[in-house]
């Protein structure tokens, strides 16, 4: 079932990326905190409902135990939200999601295991595809702007500041997923339910602090009910998180790079709903990555 959970996570986070893109205002310096508030709010609600349905008791020890993993994730996501103001999602998302390769390498180094040849080939194909998409998207964007004599704003140029955010995200998220693999799969330090609730309540705490900062200290006008795109992104982010925990608990070293391919689906959705065009090269890379995903699914059945 880990493969199904990983695919559901991939689809959900691909959709979340679409709404992150739509809901990010490059002129709003607090846009990243508003996203944190929406995501944290939805996660807090979900954690409460999940505990009630499953009959779980909240344990503050789990919150502290899982805090290192939560901190890596939340920090990386916040940095990613900031980066959306400086770089197009089509470039930022593939660069950020290279973290799956970082995780797989770290897990293989510290927790070596024998991998099926199909697992290896599928993982390599997906990783190459994600990197290739980042390069292709940058070339396509630059060519389109030059062809239309469009001035490239400084914040969208691949400068030191712009590229720093997705790279930092990649490193921090990779370390967080590596830690998750240790907690949930390799050493089983915490159960899936406890990890999910701990992470979502930690994110909720960050959302509360961010809300107080914006409303009380900065006096920023922020209406939760008017942030529809951020709300949709938060719902999809939380949905993906739910399935993610169970995927990582079963096969972290393979699930991590598979889930990282959600950038492919975010690109497809951007083309469909934002009317952006796909080139033949885009389709080739998408088919290439889907082949890698299919190989992982086949290996899981053998």
DSSP 187: S
The Cα–Cα gap between 282 and 93 comes to 15
Q: How far apart are CA 156 and CA 279, in angstroms?
A: 21
Strand blocks (E) in the chain: none
Q: What angle do CA 135, 79, 100 make, to 5 degrees?
A: 55
Domain residue spans of the chain: 2-301
Which residues, 6 or more positions from 150, have their beta carbon under 8 angstroms from its beta carbon?
A: 144
Q: What is the pLDDT of residues 119-160, one digit of tens each?
A: 889 888 988 887 777 677 666 656 655 666 655 554 444 444
Q: What is the pLDDT of residue 302?
A: 61
pLDDT in tens, 170-227: 889 999 999 999 999 999 999 999 999 999 999 999 999 999 999 999 999 888 888 9
């Amino acid at each position: 079932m880990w493969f199904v959970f990983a695919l559901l996570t991939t689809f959900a986070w691909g959709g979340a990326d679409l709404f992150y893109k739509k809901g990010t205002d490059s002129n709003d310096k607090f846009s990243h905190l508003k996203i944190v508030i929406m995501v944290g709010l939805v996660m807090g609600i979900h954690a409460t409902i999940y505990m009630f349905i499953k009959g779980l008791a909240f344990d503050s020890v789990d919150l502290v135990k899982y805090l290192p993993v939560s901190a890596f994730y939340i920090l990386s996501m916040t940095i990613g939200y900031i980066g959306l103001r400086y770089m197009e999602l089509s470039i930022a998302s593939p660069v950020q999601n290279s973290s799956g390769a970082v995780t797989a390498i770290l897990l293989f180094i510290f927790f070596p295991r024998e991998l099926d040849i199909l697992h290896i080939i599928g993982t390599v194909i997906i990783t190459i595809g994600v990197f290739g998409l980042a390069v292709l998207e940058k070339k396509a964007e630059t060519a389109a702007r030059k062809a239309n004599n469009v001035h490239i704003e400084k914040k969208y140029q691949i400068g030191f500041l712009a590229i720093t955010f997705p790279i930092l995200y990649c490193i921090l998220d990779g370390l967080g997923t590596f830690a998750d693999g240790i907690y949930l799969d390799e050493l089983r330090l915490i159960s899936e339910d406890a990890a999910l609730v701990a992470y979502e309540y930690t994110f909720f705490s960050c959302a509360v602090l961010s809300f107080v900062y914006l409303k009380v200290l900065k006096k920023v006008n922020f209406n939760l009910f008017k942030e529809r795109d951020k709300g949709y992104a938060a719902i999809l982010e939380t949905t993906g998180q739910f399935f993610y925990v169970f995927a990582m608990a079963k096969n972290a070293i393979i699930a991590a790079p598979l889930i990282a391919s959600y950038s492919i689906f975010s690109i497809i959705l951007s083309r469909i709903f934002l009317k952006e065009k796909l080139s033949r090269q885009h389709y080739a890379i998408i088919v290439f990555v889907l082949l890698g995903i299919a190989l992982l699914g086949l290996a899981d059945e053998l």
